[in-house]
Amino acid sequence: MGFRKLYANNGWIEDQYFTRIFGHRRLLYYYGSDKKIHSDIFFDRLEFNHVIEFEGRLEVDKPTIPLAELFLEKMQIVMLNEKDVIDTIMLLREHEVGEGDNEQINAPYIAKMLAVDWGFWKTVTQNMEKIKSYTINSSKLSDEDKKVVVERIEKLLKKIDSEEKSLSWKLRAKVGEKKKWYKDVEEVYR
C-alpha cells in the first residue's frame, strides 16, 4: 500500500490499535503528538450511520469523491453537529443541484440511492429539513444565500420524492420508526 509509505514519510502516525480492529475497511492516521489533526482512510465504502458505496464512483471526480457522495456523507449522520450543517450549507450554496456529476450535486443519483433504502432516505430527508430550517433562521447568511440554499434543498427533495421506491423501501417504510433505521456509530476518540 503506497499510501502507508506516503503518510509515514510525511510525519503521520498510523493508529495501530485502530488498524487491528478496523484495518480491513478503514485506517486512521494522526499528525503531531497532540493528535488534533487526523486523517481517515476508507476502503470502498463509508460506513457510519448508513453505508455509502464508492465502487465505480471514485473515477467520476478527481481528486475527491463526487459532490453527491460528499453531500450524502454529511446527510447520513443521524446526530448532525453545527459543523456538518455549515459544511452542507456551503456545499449547497456553491454547487448547483443537477442531473450529473460535473461540478454539481447529482440529484438523480442521490434519489436512486435513497429509493432502495428507507432508513437512509429517512435520515437524509430529515437532515435536509433541519438544514433548510437552520438556513432560513440564520442571521449569518444573506437573503440571497438563503434563497439559493433553500431552492436547492427543495429541488433535491422534489427529485427524491418523485423517484419510484423499491419494494424493500416500501416494506421498511411500513415499519417506520418503530424499529431503528440506522446503525449506531461510536466516535473515534481523537
**Model pLDDT for residues 123-146, shown as the tens digit of each residue:** 999 999 999 999 999 999 999 999
Query: What are the pLDDT digits (tens) for 148-172?
Result: 999 999 999 999 999 999 999 999 9
Amino acid letter at 105?
A: I
The SS3 call for residue 42 is strand
Q: Does 84 score more than 80 pLDDT?
A: yes
Predicted TM-score (pTM) of the model is 0.85
Single out the residue of 18, 35, 19, 98 nearest to residue 66, CA to CA. Answer: 98
Give the three cell numbers for residue 4. 502507508
**% of the chain surpassing 70 pLDDT:** 97
Q: Is the pLDDT of residue 189 over 80?
A: no
DSSP 166: P
Instruction: Give residue 67's pLDDT band: very low, low, confident or very high (50, 70, 90).
Output: very high
